[in-house]
Structure 1
Amino acid sequence: MSTAPISATLAQKQRDEVLQAIATIKEKLPFLIDLTNEERKALPKMGDKSRAFVSKALEVASQNPEFLPRSFDLEEMRKDIQLFEALYPVLLSLSQLHELVDDTSLAVGSEAYAAALQVYNYAKASGQGGGLETVVEEMGQRFSRKSRKAKLETATA
């Protein structure tokens, strides 16, 4: 992990442009769907190991269409494979971008939280009589825990 702190800003204009670029990507891929978790689990998955199998099946089906039932749509299979292959590099690129954005967000959030903890500790240490008691108490609520009795009473209510 990089130990150098992140010191950057994202101007509203840049953020808007990034969001517009994402909207443009969605617009360019109007066939994208949103599956439920149950639907995801029910679908057979095509990963790296399955790609060769699928390609071989298409080759066999293309060269020997006579054994396929009439209802089998070979052209649709071909289109599905072509779309999968076209989407694959897009998926890899977006996955890498997602990981970078996620890691950066995590690191920056961690930096901000660590700084906030320092502020809280400094305010706690020097806040006596400085008018910070109320703010320190409010900030301290972040660390308060309900007793087991209070949790049980809430759960039964």
Structure 2
Amino acid sequence: MTNKVSAEVTEAMMAEFKKDMEAIKAKYPWLISLTEEERNSGLRIGDKTYTFVSKVVEYVDSHPEYLPSYINVAELKKDFKLWNDLYTMLRLNTLLSNAITDTAIQAGNEAMEAALSYYSSVKEAAKRGAPGAQTIYDELRARFAGRPVKKEAAK
């Protein structure tokens, strides 16, 4: 069995992490939460539209004669800068989130691998009539309820 991860999150570390997350969120009280409908229906800036918006921000200064009166240029520039800054923050957050996710996946993989090895050992011990093994096996096999039992090949 491989062991890529061998670490521990203490109660103090977890408390500090939660405190840090709350402190970060408190620094940006203007962050909002969208409904699922709002998230899916709004316009977005992506790889293809970034250049378009960037050019518009340039052109509103160099060619203001085409600017509709209802567009607030200062707010347009402020929103675009905010998007750029938040996108940078999002990329940094994604790196941290991915590292946490990958570490959790690996730790879970290692725990499940060890648990399945133990389960196999208990199963074999129950087949051989080892004291107490059948009780443990019966409790653990409930995890696999509903799955077809593999039939052993004819000997």
On whether the aligned pair clears a TM of 0.5, the verdict is yes
| Counterpart position of 2:79 | 80
CA distance in 2, matches of 1:37, 1:139: 39
| Counterpart position of 1:130 | 131
CA distance in 1, matches of 2:102, 2:109: 10
Task: Flag structure 2 segments of 5+ consecutive residues without an equivalent.
Answer: 149-155
| Counterpart position of 2:65 | 66
| Greater displacement, 119-128 / 90-99 | 119-128
| Counterpart position of 1:19 | 18
CA distance in 2, matches of 1:78, 1:136: 65
Alignment map for 1:43-122 (pairs within 5 Å): 43-122=42-121
| Counterpart position of 1:28 | 27
TM-score of the superposition, structure 2-length normalised? 0.84
CA distance in 2, matches of 1:143, 1:89: 44
Amino acid at match of 1:44: L
CA distance in 2, matches of 1:136, 1:32: 50
CA distance in 2, matches of 1:69, 1:29: 32
TM-score of the superposition, structure 1-length normalised? 0.83
| Counterpart position of 1:41 | 40
* Structure with the larger RCO, 1 or 2 (CA within 8 Å, 6+ apart): 2
CA distance in 2, matches of 1:7, 1:114: 14
Contact 2:3 2:110 in 1 (8 A): no
CA distance in 1, matches of 2:4, 2:141: 26
| Counterpart position of 2:152 | none
CA distance in 1, matches of 2:101, 2:58: 40
Shift of 1:146: 7.1
CA distance in 1, matches of 2:24, 2:47: 25
> How big is each residue's C-alpha offset from its partner over 1:28-50, in whole Å with a ceiling of 9 and x where there is no partner?
12122222332222122211332
